[in-house]
């Protein structure tokens, strides 16, 4: 769940609030969500390309940016065992090895395949490595 262009309302963040409430009601506490590089993490270091990308998104898609930030804040403040998987540009390449880390260390690139993201997300269901963390991934 996320914006796919210009957003004009808060239906996505409101939807995430509803998902969180439903999970509480069902006694579930594990949530894994895709996010973007717009969401900062304390482990990120300053990176020119990363900062430029975020500034462009803020400039041209401000409401989408605001929704992405709101959704991540809702998840992070849920007290659940959350993982925010931050991705860059998606492509249709085959599954290939995933690089995980944080921005500013030169390890994370700009693209990742949809198939690789899907595999990584499924792996997180049983993994505890990234609970309450926001890793960035790429191929």
- Is 60 exceeded by the pLDDT of residue 47? yes
Inform me whether the pLDDT recorded for 75 exceeds 90. yes
Interval 16-35 mean pLDDT = 97
Q: Is the model's pTM score more than 0.85?
A: yes
| Cα Rg, the chain, nearest whole Å | 15
State the pLDDT confidence band at 134, using cuts at 50, 70 and 90.
very high
Say how many residues make up the chain.
Answer: 139
The answer as to CATH 3.40.50.720 being correct for domain 29-138 is yes
Q: How is the chain split into domains, by residue range?
A: 29-138
Question: Helices 62-76 and 11-25: crossing angle, nearest 10°?
Answer: 10
Token pair listed for 29:
């506490």
Query: Please, how many CA atoms are within 13 Å of residue 65, restricted to the half-sphere of its CB?
Result: 13
Residue 76 confidence (pLDDT): 98
């Amino acid at each position: 769940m996320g914006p796919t262009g210009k957003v004009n309302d808060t239906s996505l963040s409101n939807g995430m609030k509803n998902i969180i409430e439903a999970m509480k009601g069902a006694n579930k506490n594990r949530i894994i969500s895709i996010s973007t590089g717009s969401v900062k993490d304390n482990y990120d270091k300053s990176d020119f390309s990363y900062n430029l990308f975020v500034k462009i998104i803020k400039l041209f898609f401000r409401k989408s940016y605001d929704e992405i930030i709101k959704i991540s804040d809702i998840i992070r403040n849920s007290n659940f065992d959350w993982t925010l998987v931050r991705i860059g540009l998606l492509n249709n390449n085959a599954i290939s090895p995933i690089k995980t880390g944080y921005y500013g260390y030169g390890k994370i690139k700009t693209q990742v395949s949809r198939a690789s993201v899907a595999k990584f997300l499924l792996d997180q269901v049983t993994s505890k490595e990234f609970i309450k963390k926001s890793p960035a991934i790429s191929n």
